[in-house]
Amino acid sequence: MSDSTGANAPKPSSSVKLVLLGEAAVGKSSLVLRFVNNDFQENKEPTIGAAFLTQKCTLPSRTIKFEIWDTAGQERFASLAPMYYRNAQAALVVYDVTKPSSLTKAKHWVAELQRQASPGIVIALVGNKLDLTNEGGDVSASPEPESESAGPDGDEAAGEDGEEHDATPGDARKVSTREGTSYAEEEGLLFFETSAKTGTNVVDVFTAIANTIPESSLKTGRGAAGSGQTALGGRSGEDSRVNLGDRGAATAKEGCAC
């Protein structure tokens, strides 16, 4: 009887603030959309400032509620990043495996987090758009090489860097797995290659982060943002887009992320 009672007892719930950083159009918003709603949109609208979503990750011993800040990748919003990663317990730093310059930018964000973010922050380096490579993941739909490059992140118009993706048919990889792995090992980062389009490894990234965050840095999820409510009043899985281009008059608009 005691065993069944223990099995039915609710698991402890903890909230984790997580921020996504990376160059524009690497697929940050698409990764979040895949994780939160198991959905993918070929052409997402630009992220302005940041979008806020929540999703739960159930572990054997507890439930982690991710409070996710998906930041815009355009350079004009870079100065706002500290507002989002302040007090974050975890970060996804995303690059595009078909675009070497995006890894350079990712390294910049990692260095900034290591220098200015909370001590002990868990950082995952994520190489996205695996579906454009020969490895491809689950590509039963046989996507075209330019499929995920056409602005899935919503951070920039698709045409601004599309030529880099269209140049090589078939395997468009420009950043090797070894290069990403070596850098991650040097800096003590989690490392994954993902495809937001096919869903390959997306849930694995967030599960790994949930398992890596020290118990000491977890907070009980019963505050204003608990019980499935976002800090901006949305429900779990909803998207509250925050335009912070004008710091003095920040506004929030709620809308369904699906």
Q: How many residues does the chain have?
A: 258
Residue 215's pLDDT is: 81
Domains of the chain with CATH codes: 12-256 (3.40.50.300)
Residue 217's pLDDT is: 74
125 has which bridge partners?
Answer: 93, 191
Residues of the chain with pLDDT under 70: 1-9, 44, 46, 137-170, 219-258
Phi, psi of 160 (to 5 degrees): -70, -30
Residue 219's pLDDT is: 64
Residue 100's pLDDT is: 98
The per-residue pLDDT for range 122-150, each reduced to its tens digit, is 999 999 999 999 987 554 333 333 334 43
> If we measure between CA atoms, which residue out of 94, 83, 92, 85 comes closest to residue 117?
85
Residue 6's pLDDT is: 55
The per-residue pLDDT for range 145-162, each reduced to its tens digit, is 333 443 444 444 333 333
